[in-house]
Every structure is written in structure tokens, then in C-alpha cells.
Structure 1
């Protein structure tokens, strides 16, 4: 979660829990994720155990056990990666499963009516009427693979360069090394384990720097249906954390998730926001109703304020520090995401997100509904509708400089402006087009084009759009009550 304390304001910020929760447009993307739910442990049965069940019930039970063993062996076996190419007939080694990915995204957000050159209410797509290289993202990873006796091991290392990196730092991990529109950040650096412990399907553990688990839209370009973000995914869900996630596979359909981390976009010691840990708790339900329904219930809890001393710049901007009070005032963040496949071509997803902060008495909550329809194998129609309430006006905040967000999480004074308490409505329609007439001639990677039309509107009469604030008056109410914009990005992904 991207969260910062400023003068009576807190700025709060993309995997879906398991493969069953991936939206149809993100099925092949690197998104915020725990370890694969299919990583189940082998099950050993005691054939000498006495049982009072009927013989046919014993047979059915043994069949289920055999199915569990087969599924586990399948999910943990070495899978051919895309880096090494062993000779045909040669047995695969662990390193033959090494996978590399590279994605580049360039886009433009067209807003003819802006007077601020900004698109209010957006982190990544804040620059209006400017062609922007949003991200070049590269990763080197290995799926969780059997290393013997039912144990599995994998890893993922990922970095991003581009304008999106301005809003995706983890303090203490290369932050502030570049200061312009285009910056770089490490986005993932974690090791993954499967342990055949406690449960038939075992336990998965992810340790290191990871994407947060809440929300419906991820940071990588293909981890969302549109170029722009919904308010909840941009402002009030965790994006980057350093810690540990544990997934307990209770059965084939239910996972229990527990986690502990250092805080959102922060790490430890001088690079932390305060001295208290944060935690994640929840459940994921996968492939119910013959694979049509999946959903998760997740929460992230803990103090999120910065316990540093408040600082003021010569220009009058203040930092996010609030002192030792930040160590004990809690923040509560909850998310429920439900995805239902109407048929093979149509999927509806609903995401409800809530945040409450004890320190500033902030409340923010929203509901986003997605509709995806595959018109043909190369063309998907997407629609998104959202209603989002910012009760104090301090959550939806625009950063005025290239380094504002990094300065804010580092407890340095930073320029910003925000709105009065506002209920936002947003409607976005667009298509995801994978042009076959181009891709069939491209031997390396694939192109995707995503044009969209979006309308944002204040539903309670405030006027936060298309105007900027100042240090003397950072709360904007002299703009417009709506923002109609036309956006498009082009993605090349390998």
C-alpha cells in the first residue's frame, strides 16, 4: 500500500491470491502472488489403520489419496523454462526450468481539458497528453520445483525501469538513485518454498520482497485490464512489502494465508516507517462450482505511520513524520475479491476494498466491478465501473514532483495536492487487442494494444479535477467535477 502521512493527510495506495483468482486478462501475467496453490504435498496413507467405513468408502478414500499424490508430483516436477533448451530425450535438470521475462509498456493519457498537465487521482498515469515509457520490466525466476522428499524450491527476481518506478519504491532498496521522470526499482526479490508439513497438500512459504496480496490490479502492465488504475488499487492496497507469506492448503479448494511484513514500500531500521510489524490474514477459495467461482477474503493490519520527526522544507512543504505515536496507532485494510465465469467467453469480477486509520481517523472504501468478454482469440472487450469514497480528502493525493512519493516515504518534505472529502465515480471501457497481423511476423514476444475511454466524476459536488494546488492551498476545489480522458498503451511482452 502506498501510504504517507502529511498535514492531516494519509496517502494509501497489484496478485491475486491464487491462479483461480486471476482475472481473464491477467492469466499470463506476472502479478502479485503467493506460491502456486497447486503445490500440494504428497500424502502417505497407513494401510494398516483400522477403519469402520464400508469397503467402497475405503476405495473412494484411497482414490482421493492417489489423486493428491498425482497432483503433487505433477505440480512439483521440473518444467521446461524458456532460457535453456536441452537436447530432446535428455532428462530435465532443475536449472532447465529457469524462466526469463521482459515487458515494455509505452502509453499516452489524453486529457484535452486539463489546466494542470496532470490527471488527478492517478499515480502511474498522472502525466496528461504526454507519450510516456511507463515500464521496462525484466525478471528471472524459477517455479517451485521438487528438490526431494516432497520439498520444493523456487525464486523470483524482478526489476522495473520507467515512469512507473516513481511510485513503486521500497525504501532501503535502491530508492532515490535516479531523480527524473524515469527511475528504476526492484519490484520482487523472493525465494519460495513448498513444505510437506501438517496438511495433505502442505504449506507454501514466500520470503523476501513481494507484491502485496490485496486488490484486483497489479503493477505489471498485463496484470490489469486497462492502462489506467482504479482508485482502490492505486491508493489503498499494499503494493510492495518485505516479509514472509505462508499459505496453508487446507484442501483442494481452500487456502489459509498468514503473513508478516515491515510495512508498505518500506524495509527495516532507518529505512522502515516505524518499529512495529504488520500482518496479513485471510482465506482464498479456488475453482468452486466446477471452476466457475473463485474469491478471497484478505486483511492487512498494523501501524503504518512514520515515526520520524516532522520536517519542513524552505518552500513550506512538510514531511510525513508524526513521531512515536506512529508506533501504536493501527491501520486496518480489508479486501474481498470475487470472480465468476459466466461462460467460456465472459467473466465478471467484483472487488470491495476498505481502509480505516486510527491515527488520522481516515476512512476510505470502494467497490469495483469488471466485465470481460472475449470477442475472439485476439480481442477482448473490458468494462470497469467503480465507486470510491474518501471521507477526509487526504487519501486521493497527487504528487507534484518526480521524487515526491519517494521523499514522502523517506520522511522528507514533498510537494503534493489533494481534494476535499469526495465520493468518486469512474467508468472505463476499452479493448485488449493482440494484433495477429503483427504478432504472426514477430518471432520474439507479442504485442498488445489497449485503447480506452474513461470518465471520472465527483458524485458529491466537489471539483478536484484538471487543476493543481499550491503549498499555500494544497486542497483543490476550483477545478472541474468530472474528467473525460482518452488513453492507450502498447505492450511488448516476452
Structure 2
């Protein structure tokens, strides 16, 4: 199978763990022909999926938000996170042939508040449950230059950087790490390329309008941004994979720092992760991330941009207890050097307003010197094969411990330097 490389093989691990055989997917067209347009149509599939969950907080914070948590931000409240429908034509043919496919995906639910694109869906909804075009791209495989060829995606794309993804079946926990919320982009309009140089080396590059922006007046500045990086596959006898991806371009809004600064203040995103499959049961993943923004902190007294940055390390462990039970661990250290990255957005449209540079509200966070966040999450994924057309079924209880490691008090309405939450989600797909 040849396609666009995922940012981490941990994503592939959990997608495969959660899924039952491919015949559970709905094939919209069928044909006995081996050539022509009818054969191309026969590979189109339609899948549906629903996810809901809750994270309880015994401290009952006022206001009622779990600080630093996007998908489960409302404490002690059940949420419909995602109702997802995906129409897909995958490129699975031989590497030496031209191939054209596509992905169309719509998502309705509370998670959609964080994955809008400016100018497309960001102002259409005011409620907690919102609707987005999560993916709408053409996928092309070109048998050029090397035996593996070149893969391209163009359109509305989910960002490829980082370990944890929006699709709950592709990540180990209901909640996300700080790194996955604040130090990687979410959504793009643009084009991404993956060149399979050798069976061991892939090169990734791409260009887009920016993180969660589109064109013209729906861009928060006038300049593009882009990716470059590499994958190292099948290392250590096929047990190890390393993914490095960097990104550079302006991401700040002209409404916040002015047109010239917004066009010239660069944001540098850097993420490298490695996944090692120790044996058939145990998989380890480590991720290091560094982000620097030249414009986020505004100007100093000399008229120079001051900048802001954050660095983090995340570790994951996955252990298959039985064919239907997997134990998961995540541990993270996240340093927000200027207290400008980590925030909890109060209101259903505040996150996208912050990207646009229009007025928004947040839950009060730490002030003064920067904050070093520590986070540990433990969970169980129960994923039995239900058969009879059920593509995926998952129950994922988890407990999570968050703490400020240097004395600030961001949690539970500013009362505490730590927060304990517990809960989880349920996922079913057809």
C-alpha cells in the first residue's frame, strides 16, 4: 500500500488496534470490471463514527472548565465530541502506477470548535456543537523519480505534525497532551507532498495559507507557511520509526500586532518523535517539540519583537493485555516560557477568535514568570470485535494528573497548582 505517510506510527498502531476487518466499510459502488472508471468507483467507501465522553473534576472549578483541556474542557459534563462521516477513495495500487483518490470528511460535535478554518466555518455556529469540513482533499500518487514515487494531497488537510490526532481511533486517550494542543497546528488549506526516496527514507514538504486560515480577508496575515521533514522507516529490524517535521511561516494576526509584523514575524514549529515496538505487546513512543514565535509577545521598549517559546517532551507506552484490552500511559513535561501558549478558551467561539485576532475570552491562567506543566495519564482501551458491520467499538476510561511544577496556580479557577480528573469516552463506528 502506498499513500501519504502519517506523522507517527503510533497513529497507525491505534487505528489498526481499533478496527475490525475492512468488509465492515460500506462500498458505495461494486463492479466486476478490472479496468476503467467503474473499477475506480468500486473502491469508494463511506464510514461513520460517533464519540462522546466526560472528564469529571472533584474540585468543581469555577468557572466550570478543566484548565488546559480542549476536548473535555467542560468539567463534569457529558459531551458529544464527534459525529463523523467520511467518504474515501484510497490509493492502494502498485507504486509504479498513476493513482487518484480523495477524502471528504465532515464532523459535528464539540471538538469541531477547535478545528475550524477562518472564512469557511468559524462564524457559522455559536453553540457548543458545531460543524466543520474536517477534510476535503484530492490524493494523487505519481510514479516519479524513485521506485516509491511521490504522493500529494491538496485541499483541506489535517495537519501532519505530532503524535496525537483528531480521530479518536488514532490516539490512545480521550484527552490530549499539552504538546498536541498548543505546539502543533491543526488544519490547513494547501498541498502536502511525501516523496518515498527509499524504503527507509521518506521526505515530506508542503505549502499552505497558515494554521487554520484560508485566503484573502480570511487569512490573519498575507504570507504563506510550509513544512519540511523526513521519515526514517523500518529501522532496527523493522521495530523503529523516526519522524521529524518542521514548519515555518507567519501565524500571528495583523489585528494584534499590525500588518508588517504579522507578515514578517515567523513561527518556527519543530517536532520529532520515535516509536519502537519492543515486542508484539509493548510499544514505546517519545516526542520532543520546540516552538518559537517571533511576534506573539509583541514589541519591547526598543521597538523589537520579543517573541515567545515553548518546549516539551512526551512519552507514551502501550501494552496489549489481551486481544481486546490495551493499557496506555502518557507522561509529559511542557514548559510555557512566557505563559502565552497554554490557555483555556471560555466560550464556544473564543479559540477561533484568538486565531483571527478578534476579541475573545479565556479562563484566567498563570501570570508572571513562565510555567512548567507536568501531566500523567493512565488508561485502558477496551476494543472488542463486535462484528456484524461494526467497524470499531472502543471504551476508554482514563485518569489524569496535571500539575504546575514551579509554583503557579493555573488549575481549578486559579486555586490550585494541580488538577485531578477522571472519565473517558466511548467510540463506535460503522
TM-score (structure 1 length as normaliser): 0.78
Distance 1:148 1:80 in 2: 26
Query: Shift of the alpha carbon at 1:103?
Result: 1.1
For residues 16 and 164 of structure 1, do their structure 2 counterparts lie closer, same or farther at Cα, with a shift above 3 Å needed?
farther
**1:182 aligned onto 2:129:** yes
Counterpart for residue 291 of structure 2: 355
SS for the counterpart of 2:365 is: strand
Counterpart for residue 269 of structure 2: 333
Query: Shift of the alpha carbon at 1:278?
Result: 0.4
Distance 1:341 1:197 in 2: 32
Residues 285-434 of structure 1: matches in 2 within 5 Å?
A: 285-308=232-255, 320=256, 322-359=258-295, 360=297, 361-416=307-362, 417-420=364-367, 421-434=370-383
Residues 94-133 of structure 1: matches in 2 within 5 Å?
A: 94-113=40-59, 114-133=61-80
**1:22 aligned onto 2:11:** yes
For residues 434 and 27 of structure 1, do their structure 2 counterparts lie closer, same or farther at Cα, with a shift above 3 Å needed?
closer
Distance 1:202 1:255 in 2: 10
Distance 2:223 2:29 in 1: 47
Q: Contact (CA 8 Å) 2:29, 2:44: kept in 1 or not?
A: no
TM-score (structure 2 length as normaliser): 0.90
Distance 1:142 1:211 in 2: 17
**1:83 aligned onto 2:72:** no
Query: Shift of the alpha carbon at 1:491?
Result: 0.6
For residues 128 and 217 of structure 1, do their structure 2 counterparts lie closer, same or farther at Cα, with a shift above 3 Å needed?
same
Q: Contact (CA 8 Å) 2:95, 2:149: kept in 1 or not?
A: no
User: 1:263-295: CA deviations, max 9, x gaps?
Assistant: 001111011111111010000011222210001
SS for the counterpart of 1:419 is: coil
Q: Contact (CA 8 Å) 1:24, 1:372: kept in 2 or not?
A: no
Match of 1:250 among 189, 197, 202: 197
SS for the counterpart of 1:180 is: coil
For residues 298 and 369 of structure 1, do their structure 2 counterparts lie closer, same or farther at Cα, with a shift above 3 Å needed?
same
Query: Shift of the alpha carbon at 1:19?
Result: 7.4
Counterpart for residue 137 of structure 1: 84
For residues 135 and 199 of structure 1, do their structure 2 counterparts lie closer, same or farther at Cα, with a shift above 3 Å needed?
same
Match of 2:151 among 197, 200, 204: 204
Query: Shift of the alpha carbon at 1:410?
Result: 2.9
Distance 2:155 2:17 in 1: 23
Larger radius of gyration: 1
Question: When the two structures are aligned, how many residues end up with a matched partner?
Answer: 407
Distance 1:193 1:168 in 2: 24
Counterpart for residue 33 of structure 1: none
SS for the counterpart of 1:418 is: coil
Query: Shift of the alpha carbon at 1:125?
Result: 1.2
**1:215 aligned onto 2:162:** yes
Distance 1:21 1:228 in 2: 16
Q: Contact (CA 8 Å) 1:134, 1:163: kept in 2 or not?
A: yes
Residues 270-281 of structure 1: matches in 2 within 5 Å?
A: 270-281=217-228
Distance 2:88 2:346 in 1: 35
Distance 1:149 1:446 in 2: 33
Distance 1:459 1:130 in 2: 28
SS for the counterpart of 1:24 is: helix
Query: Shift of the alpha carbon at 1:220?
Result: 1.1
Counterpart for residue 216 of structure 2: 269
For residues 404 and 80 of structure 1, do their structure 2 counterparts lie closer, same or farther at Cα, with a shift above 3 Å needed?
closer
Note the residue ranges of structure 2 that are not aligned, 5 or more in a row.
298-306
For residues 487 and 260 of structure 1, do their structure 2 counterparts lie closer, same or farther at Cα, with a shift above 3 Å needed?
same
Query: Shift of the alpha carbon at 1:321?
Result: 5.4
Query: Shift of the alpha carbon at 1:406?
Result: 2.3
For residues 102 and 461 of structure 1, do their structure 2 counterparts lie closer, same or farther at Cα, with a shift above 3 Å needed?
same
SS for the counterpart of 1:164 is: helix
User: 1:61-97: CA deviations, max 9, x gaps?
Assistant: xxxxxxxxxxxxxxxxxx997324637x654711110
Cα RMSD of the aligned pairs, angstroms, is 2.2
Residues 430-441 of structure 1: matches in 2 within 5 Å?
A: 430-435=379-384, 439=386
User: 1:423-478: CA deviations, max 9, x gaps?
Assistant: 00001001000245xx25x54343210000100001001100000xxxxxxxxxx4
Query: Shift of the alpha carbon at 1:155?
Result: 0.6
Distance 1:396 1:20 in 2: 27
Match of 1:479 among 407, 415, 418: 415
Distance 1:485 1:186 in 2: 31
Q: Contact (CA 8 Å) 1:16, 1:216: kept in 2 or not?
A: no
Distance 2:233 2:56 in 1: 39
